[in-house]
Amino acid sequence: MMAGCASAPGRLEAPKVVFGLELKPYAVIEECIALEPGERIAYRFDARLPVAFNVHFHDANAVIMPMTREGATSESGDFAADRKQIYCLMWEAGAEGSVLDYRISPWPPHR
């Protein structure tokens, strides 16, 4: 399995938009963001073929997944941190791979 963090974990100061990201079969891509308690991010993605999607963080040796979706081709919403942590949005392609478009934004949006 290939894993790649598309960016080093840090603060999300402006929307991040990615179009046409090709995922090879079983490839994994992550976007990791440092959040404080109560901070929110908005996300949206579209995949040409179904992907597994989750939001997770690491706590000692455990991986905690507050949100998971299997076989998703589209999803949007927002996620609120309940603790200071580096949270990762992760997509994993299936046997046929996929092509992914996604957007992650601070919430509420800056005016």
Lowest mean pLDDT among 61-75, 79-93, 96-110: 96-110
Provide the pLDDT for residue 9. Answer: 65
Secondary structure (DSSP) of 2-28: -EEESS-SB---S-EEEEEEEE-TT-E
pLDDT at 75: 95
pTM for the whole structure:
0.87
Give 1's pLDDT tier (boundaries 50, 70, 90). Answer: very low
Residue with tokens 């996300």: 43
- Region 38-57: mean pLDDT is 96
Averaged pLDDT score across all residues of the chain: 89
pLDDT higher at 7 or 20: 20
Return the CATH number of the domain spanning residue range 3-107. Answer: 2.60.120.1050
CA torsion angle 75 67 58 106 (round to 10): 50
Mean of pLDDT values over 24-42: 95
